[in-house]
């Protein structure tokens, strides 16, 4: 923050000063993570962040309140008036039509968000803990363990993640599965793919930080390795994690959908899953039945888009060099989109 002021060519405007000082003096809720970034953003970046938060908010709300929003259950085939019927066009009874299996599309799209959210949570927690732990140990202690882990992580990283996820899904669920084993299968498959990424990022940070003076002084006064690792190294090396985590979330949804699309989805009677519905709609599309494919697909796109926008904006805002600054004096001052920006954000796509 202070560096920001020093970098400015013109003296900081009152707004900008307020911005810098705000976290210390504003109301307590201004210091909450997302709120702070929202307040410090401006222009296109704020637009991206707001749009992302909005889409993500809708996704999370529909996942939590699925029973209230969805007109029917995900596996419901009939109501008081009899069977829904298969491949019915959108109507007042079924706003988004029905699938080839006779399910209500709207209900399955809404319930699908819950499956997606659960998968994200499980995948992120698993890969975060495992990746951070391995990266920390490997980077701090070095030696042969480090070399082996780096080679293993590289080998896995270079491999098509979907194929690895397929193999992992076979192991965990044997192909078909119910809600929890399906979610766990997807989550663990994604973890296998993501641990190397957390590992690499944390490890390179740890390698850099461990040669810093404060780590050495801690060692000199006799702190234990465990204490140095957790207190001094870990806390300074998690800076980049939020970005990877959001990317991890979008990747998790895409992998879950990909697995579902290939027939490794959760059975329709156990839970709703967007990828499975898309798989069942391949034949529909050829016959001109568009609603069974478009709505689950749009749900995936919007969810991933929302999370990715939040991640990209947070990444830009976290780096003073990339942050678009509020207009100071006359001309607009822009200092975003340097190489670091893309260097970090390119990662997810390469990994896919």
Partner 1 sequence: MTITNDLTAAAVAPAPAEESRGKKGGGALGRYLLVRFLLIFPTVFILVTVVFVLMRATGDPITAALGGRLPPDQLHERIHQAGYDRPILVQYLDYLGRIARGDFGTTLSDHLPVTHVLATYGAATLELAFYALVVAFLVGIPLGRVAAARRDRGPDAALRVSAILGYATPVFFAGLVLKLIFGVLLHWLPTSGRATTRNLITMKTHGARTGIYLIDAISTGQWSVVSDVLQHAVLPALALGLLTAGVFLRLVRTNMISTLQTGYVEAARSRGVAERRLVRAHAWRPALVPIITVIGLQIAMLLGGAVLTETTFEWKGLGFQLVQYLNARDFVAVQGMVALLAVIVAVTNFIVDVIAALVDPRIRY
Residue among 178, 225, 269, 346 that touches partner 1 (CB under 8 A): 346
Hey, which residues between 244 and 263 contact partner 1 (CB under 8 A)? 250, 254, 257-258, 261-263
By C-beta, is 166 or 186 nearer to partner 1?
Answer: 166
List C-alpha distances in Å: 19 to 13, 220, 332: 10, 40, 17
Question: Please, which residue, 224 or 338, has the CB nearer to partner 1?
Answer: 338
Nearest to 198 by CA among 163, 149, 162, 160: 149
Helix axes 105-141, 179-209, angle to 10 degrees: 30
Helices 291-318, 241-259: inter-axial angle, 10-degree rounding: 170
Q: Is 109 helix (H, G, I), strand (E, B) or coil?
A: helix
- Is the Cβ–Cβ distance between 265 and 259 less than 8 Å? yes
Residues between 169 and 188 that touch partner 1 (CB under 8 A): 170-171, 174-175
**Alpha carbons 301 and 262: distance in angstroms, whole number:** 18
For position 300 contacting partner 1 by CB under 8 A, the verdict is: yes
- Is residue 17 part of the contact set for partner 1 (CB under 8 A)? no
For partner 1, what does the binding mask look like between residues 39 and 78, x meaning CB under 8 A? -----x----------------------------------
CB of 76 to partner 1, least distance (A): 25
Task: Name 119's Cβ contacts closer than 8 Å, sequence gap at least 6.
Answer: 183, 186, 187, 190, 252, 253, 256
d(CA 311, CA 115): 21
* Segment holding 78, helix H or strand E: strand 78-79
Nearer to partner 1, 107 or 303 (CB): 303
According to CB under 8 A, which residues from 77 to 136 bind partner 1?
Answer: none
Residues 261-280 that bind partner 1 (CB under 8 A): 261-264, 275, 278-279
CB of 261 to partner 1, least distance (A): 5
- Of 31, 78, 147, 231, the residue at the interface with partner 1 (CB under 8 A) is 147
Answer for which of 65, 129, 159, 214 binds partner 1 (CB under 8 A) is 159
Three state DSSP letters for 168-231: HHHHHHCCCCCHHHHHHHHHHHHHHHHHHHHHHHHHHHHHHHCCCHHHHHHHHCCCCHHHHHHH
Binding footprint of partner 1 on the chain (CB under 8 A): 44, 146-147, 150-152, 154-156, 158-164, 166-168, 170-171, 174-175, 200, 204, 250, 254, 257-258, 261-264, 275, 278-279, 281-282, 285-288, 290, 293-294, 297, 300-302, 304-305, 308-309, 312, 334, 336-339, 341-343, 345-352
């Amino acid at each position: 923050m202070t560096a920001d002021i020093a970098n400015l060519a013109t003296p900081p405007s009152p707004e900008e000063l307020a911005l810098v000082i705000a976290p210390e003096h504003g109301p307590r809720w201004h210091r909450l993570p997302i709120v702070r970034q929202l307040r410090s953003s401006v222009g296109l970046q704020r637009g991206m962040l707001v749009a992302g938060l909005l889409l993500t908010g809708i996704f999370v709300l529909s996942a939590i309140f699925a029973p209230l929003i969805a007109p029917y259950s995900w596996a419901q085939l009939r109501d008081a008036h009899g069977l829904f019927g298969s491949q019915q066009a959108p109507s007042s009874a079924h706003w988004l039509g029905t699938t080839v299996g006779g399910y209500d599309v709207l209900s399955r799209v809404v319930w699908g968000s819950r499956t997606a959210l659960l998968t994200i949570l499980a995948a992120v927690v698993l890969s975060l803990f495992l990746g951070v732990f391995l990266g920390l140990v490997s980077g701090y202690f070095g030696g042969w363990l480090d070399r082996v882990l780096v080679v293993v992580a590289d080998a896995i990283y270079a491999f098509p993640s979907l194929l690895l996820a397929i193999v992992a899904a076979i192991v965990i669920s044997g192909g078909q599965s119910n809600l929890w084993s399906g979610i766990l299968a997807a989550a663990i498959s994604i973890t296998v793919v993501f641990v190397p990424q957390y590992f690499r990022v944390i490890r390179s940070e740890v390698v850099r930080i461990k040669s810093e003076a404060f780590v050495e002084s801690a060692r000199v006064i006799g702190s234990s390795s465990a204490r140095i690792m957790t207190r001094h190294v870990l806390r300074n090396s998690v800076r980049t994690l939020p970005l990877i985590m959001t990317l991890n979330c979008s990747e998790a949804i895409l992998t879950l959908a990909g697995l579902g699309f290939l027939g490794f989805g959760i059975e329709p009677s156990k839970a709703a899953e967007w990828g499975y519905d898309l798989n069942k709609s391949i034949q529909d599309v050829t016959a001109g039945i568009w609603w069974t494919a478009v709505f689950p697909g749009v749900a995936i796109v919007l969810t991933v888009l929302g999370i990715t926008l939040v991640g990209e904006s947070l990444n830009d805002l976290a780096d003073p060099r990339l942050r678009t600054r509020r207009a100071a004096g006359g001309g607009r001052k822009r200092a975003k989109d340097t190489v670091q920006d893309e260097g970090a954000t390119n990662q997810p796509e390469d990994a896919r």
